[in-house]
Amino acid sequence: MQVPQDGEDLAHQPWYHGALSRQKAEALLLQDGDFLVRTSGSRGDHPVISCRWRGSALHFEVFRVTLRPRPGRPAALFQLEDERFTSMPALVYSYVTGRRPLSQATGAVASRPVVRQGPLQRSFSEETLLGSPVRTESFRARKWSSSQPADLEHTGQATDTHCGPGASTGPLPALLRMGSDPVLLKAPAPLGATADSLRASDGQLHAKAPTKPPRAPSLTFSDASGLPTTYCELVPRVPSTQGASPGQSCSQPEAPWWEDEEEEAEEEDGCFARPQGEVSFCLPDKPSCLLGPQNRPLDPKVLCTLRGLFLEHHAESTALHLLLVDCQAAGLLGVTKAQRVAMGVRSGLELLTLPQGHRLRLDLLERLETLALAGALAVLGCAGPLEERTAALRGLVELALALRPGAAGDLAGLAAVMGALLLPQVSRLECTWRQFRRSHTEAALAFEQELKPLMRALDEGSGPCEPGEVALPHVVPAVRLLEGEGPEGPEGPLEDSCERLLRTLQGARRMARDAPKFRRAAARRLRGFRPNPELREALSTGFLQRLLWGRQGARAPRTERLQKFEHVLSILSQRLEPGH
């Protein structure tokens, strides 16, 4: 395999096939070790490594972190599991030549590239992914402003030379773009009519040029002319009202709501409106792309699909998906005006502390317990080799680390993942935990020395809860207290229980007061994020209920369902390690 050179374009690699569907990629992988790299619109336009291993086609998403354009450093970093690379060719070369497994869970090794046949057809979204200089033939001849470099006109003429997303040290065919320079996107056919109205100073494609060019905002709204523009290090996207690539059609229409929430002006009308009733933020039932209309509990085909889906996404990507779904379930993001009027407050963090928040509190408890049971099933459902269960443990621990304060900051999701790891049916697996500590020592130390003390402090009301460091606070202690459920764990002396009670109540009051700050922190983390619709559905409460108990069983009372599934987990745990 040829060593990639600095500045080499990803499109010049013979194993890169551009925008390719999963089915077409699997048809090209014939033998174990065959691999190719493609771009999938359903994966948020991140590159995906497709590889055949042990008779099965596996797909691994590569996480791309776009950096602020600065001379002397790469434009983006690419990460598969642990190590980060400055370009996709460098990542592929390292894994192929070193025969390193693409993931520890599967052990798949990519060794034989599948060479692309014919010219590469790039899509509009793919140009955004690669960060390559785009052709300007589709636009009219422009007069660049005097603030641009003298030779910037000629950047569009070298159409046969492209810069890879990680290239920064090699010679470049054009000057590096500064943070305030415009980003020119390759326009698809629907945007051809708007090209004539653009100026060189436009920061992105607008139906009407703004009075002042924004600094590469992450999204443009058709009615956002009066809102202040926001800056984002990610590549700007084209407004959905002007057209979108085919791969984005399923997820793009809903993309603006969590970003628009941050910029929403506070409405102070000074009038009190009596709450009209209880509000639930659970998503309404709609046709599922993963479950059938009348699915049975723990469908093996669905479990296999979910396993492959989670293996394709690394912990950081899964954490952002979970943060998005948790924020919507808690009423932190995506709250409509009608819901605000009905509940009498602006955020679910305020509603759950009020009497009319009873239904929301029950929904949050249901979500926490369902997520914990699903996480435990990910471990106890591995009936194969011991290494398979240890890989599942490692995946949960890495997800918990990605959810902690300072990272995604989703403490509600962190509580659910830690609840799965600390369930008696999982913690009793001595052989599995012993192998986990032996094979994944670093993750095991982080679980014992960092995650468990952090979770204990959060349950006691003394953990980190500052907006910014935290996007979604730990609402479970306050919810359990307000619903009359005692705190989990040993009670301890009476004075300690009283102090814990007071800390929980004080934390709930502070959480309601700082709800706007938490909303801004969550929207800031999700700015520019484009979720995978299948993974987003797989993390929703309604989907998990149907997965665990089936279409009919999900309608049973909560207590009955929990007891039944805990019994199922106990049986699975005993079968895995009967002597412990």
Question: What mean pLDDT is reported for the chain?
Answer: 74
**CATH superfamily entry for domain 10-128:** SH2 domain (3.30.505.10)
Sequence-distant (≥ 6) Cβ neighbours of residue 445 within 8 angstroms: none
DSSP string, 214-245: -S--S---TT-TTSPP---SSPP---GGG---
Q: Which CATH number is associated with domain 256-264+276-576?
A: 1.10.840.10
What is d(CA 411, CA 323) in angstroms, rounded to the nearest whole number?
9
Q: What pLDDT was estimated at residue 259? A: 58
Dihedral, CA of residue 143, residue 144, residue 146 and residue 149, to nearest 10: -140
Q: What pLDDT was estimated at residue 424? A: 94
Cα angle at 485 between 479 and 486, to 5 degrees? 110
Please, what sign has the CA dihedral across residues 21, 323, 81, 415?
negative
Closest CA to 88 of 110, 104, 71, 69: 110
**Can you state the percent helix, strand and coil of the chain, rounding each to 5?**
45, 5, 50
Q: What is the pLDDT of residues 390-426, one digit of tens each?
A: 999 999 999 999 999 999 999 999 999 999 999 999 9
Q: Average pLDDT of 175-198?
A: 39
Q: Average pLDDT of 542-551?
A: 91
Domain ranges (residues) in the chain: 10-128, 212-243, 256-264+276-576
Q: Average pLDDT of 471-489?
A: 83
What is d(CA 18, CA 426) in angstroms, rounded to the nearest whole number?
42
Antiparallel, parallel or unpaired: β 34-39 and 63-66:
unpaired
Q: What pLDDT was estimated at residue 66? A: 75
Structure tokens at 413: 């999701």
DSSP string, 369-388: HHHHHHHHHHHHT--S-HHH
Q: How confident is residue 291, by pLDDT bands cut at 50, 70 and 90?
A: confident
Closest CA to 571 of 295, 376, 417, 420: 376
Q: Are 107 and 101 in contact (CB under 8 A)?
A: yes
What is d(CA 122, CA 139) in angstroms, rounded to the nearest whole number?
18
Place of tokens 């709501």: 257
Q: Which residue has the higher pLDDT, 240 or 468?
A: 468
Q: Which residue has the higher pLDDT, 51 or 151?
A: 51
Q: Which residue has the higher pLDDT, 370 or 20?
A: 370
pLDDT above 50: residue 295: yes
Burial class (CB in 10 A: 0-12, 13-18, 19+), 143: exposed
Q: What is the pLDDT of residues 316-361, one digit of tens each?
A: 999 999 999 999 999 999 888 888 888 888 899 999 999 888 999 9
DSSP string, 395-453: HHHHHHHHHSTTTT-BHHHHHHHHHHHTSHHHHT-HHHHHHHHHH-HHHHHHIIIIIHH
Which range is least confidently modeled, 67-76, 286-295, 496-505? Answer: 67-76
Closest CA to 504 of 483, 489, 521, 482: 482
Q: How confident is residue 10, by pLDDT bands cut at 50, 70 and 90?
A: confident
Q: What pLDDT was estimated at residue 35? A: 92
Q: Are 66 and 166 in contact (CB under 8 A)?
A: no
Question: For a pLDDT cut of 70, what percent of the chain falls above it?
Answer: 68
Strand partners of residue 57: 52
What is d(CA 11, CA 126) in angstroms, rounded to the nearest whole number?
10
Structure tokens at 244: 């979108």
